[in-house]
Homo-oligomer: A and B are copies of this chain.
Amino acid sequence: MPLSPDQQAEIEAQRAAPGQTLRTVAPGLEEHLYTAYPVLDHGFVRVVDYMGDDAAICQAARVSYGKGTKSVQNDEGLIRYLMRHWHSTPFEMCEIKLHVKLPVFVARQWIRHRTANVNEYSARYSILDREFYIPAPENVAAQSAINNQGRGDLLEGEAAARVLEVLKGDATRCYDHYQELIDADGIGLARELARMNLPANVYTQWYWKVDLHNLFHFLRLRADSHAQYEIRVYAEEICRIVADWVPFAYKAFEDYRLGAVSLSAQMLDCLRRMLKGEEVTQETSGLSAREWREFRQMLDDGAG
């Protein structure tokens, strides 16, 4: 159970008592507020608070560009224009605060996005719960033979079973020992020391607050097919929430970032020659073998 009974009661109380505000309200996000959406086996994402909506992006842009923005007739057109031309500051005017429960090895990737505010559960002060991420069988895969950092084929049979056995066994033993060490009636080791015995699949939790521009940057990298599965599922859950919060901005993000590709100067040159009817090969392209492969893939199936 990802939420404690206290947290669950708190959520219900919060959802039961709407208040009045003069602020901008984003109805699509109010629907999601406080609900803990499960991710992985014990994790979740839930929205704790937010500021702004699509209109707030436009409002900020119109302060910046004044009468210049009048030529764009409507909010959606303006938002698409801003996204296409890499105007980042209007998107920074929206903010969201999430409560996330996630394995430590995922938290370690996540925190590398520095432009955000974080309050993490402290294992110096408090005792971590007995909750570990154990991958579902369909996610237990071998090291990729082509990609130094990716996964390849699924593991099956005895190999997969052994992986799960090891992960469960070590997590259980390590946690048993953790409990033994911190037991106030026994050894009573300082928590800040005992925590070092817990493996990286133990769950932690934090409040994470970020503006929409930096959130999009996070999502572009972490909802990408090259991201590790265990962080990608968090990013995808957040994508679903953001799509309801700022529908115009999210659609622009999908079109100009998530589904977009970048062509190098050399690739663009190849493309122009191809469109003129020239038969371009790797040899005549000026691209390295690796770049050529990436380029062909792009034109065939759009995988960025």
Contacts and interface: CB of A to CB of B under 8 A. Distances in A.
Interface of A: 14-15, 17-25, 30, 33-34, 48-52, 56, 59-61, 63-69, 71, 77, 80-81, 84, 86, 89-90, 92-93, 95, 97, 99, 103-105, 108, 111-112, 114-115, 117-122, 124-127, 133, 135, 140-144, 148-152, 155, 159, 162-163, 166-167, 170, 173-174, 177, 180-182, 184, 187-193, 195-201, 205-207, 209, 211, 221, 228, 254-256, 258-269, 271-272, 274-275, 288, 290-291, 294, 298-300, 302
Given A198-B199, A259-B264, 18 more contacts: A17-B22, A20-B20, A21-B25, A23-B33, A68-B126, A89-B117, A111-B111, A124-B149, A141-B190, A143-B182, A163-B187, A170-B177, A173-B173, A197-B199, A258-B265, A260-B263, A260-B268, A268-B298
A104 B200 contact: yes
- Number of chain copies forming the complex: 4
27 contacts: A18-B21, A19-B21, A49-B52, A51-B51, A65-B122, A71-B148, A81-B290, A86-B221, A89-B112, A90-B119, A93-B119, A114-B114, A114-B115, A124-B228, A125-B149, A144-B190, A150-B190, A159-B187, A163-B181, A166-B177, A196-B199, A197-B201, A255-B266, A256-B262, A258-B265, A259-B265, A269-B302
A71 B144 CA distance: 14
B195 A200 contact: yes
Nearest to A159: B187
B207 A93 contact: yes
Contacts of A90: 119
B50 A190 contact: no
Nearest to A209: B93
A196 to B, nearest CB: 4
A52 to B, nearest CB: 6
A108 B173 CA distance: 23
Contacts of A291: 84
A114 to B, nearest CB: 4
A168 B141 CA distance: 29
Given A143-B190, A209-B92, A265-B255, A64 B196 contact: no
Contacts of A25: 19-21
A84 B264 contact: yes
Given A21-B30, A163-B187, A265 B260 contact: yes
